[in-house]
Amino acid sequence: MIDSAIDGYFATDRRRRFVQVNDRLCELFGYAREDFIGHSPFEFVTEESRAELIAQGMRSESTERSATN
């Protein structure tokens, strides 16, 4: 299902390492799936994009904590 998505998709583990990516994300970044798995998203974005990636991660953590309470 995620491979048919029109948007890039990824999932990370607790250490913030890719455990799953879809075909669209691979197309967008120009890497094979195997290049992503086990690596940090920070290895694939520009310096300018890091702040937004950090902010998104913080929002995600906040949502996860709220859902478990």
The dotted CATH code for 2-68 is 3.30.450.20
pLDDT digits (tens, 9 = 90+) for 11-33: 999 999 999 999 999 999 999 99
Direct distance between the N- and C-terminal alpha carbons of the chain, in angstroms, rounded to an integer: 29
Domain boundaries, the chain: 2-68
Residue 8 has a pLDDT of 92
DSSP-derived secondary structure letter, 15: T
Residue 48 has a pLDDT of 84
Residue 59 has a pLDDT of 78
* Integer Cα distance of 30 and 66 in angstroms: 35
Residue 67 has a pLDDT of 61
Residue 4 has a pLDDT of 84
**pTM, rounded to two decimals:** 0.71
Q: Is pLDDT larger for residue 25 or for residue 4? A: 25
- How many Cβ atoms from other residues are within 10 Å of residue 11's Cβ? 10
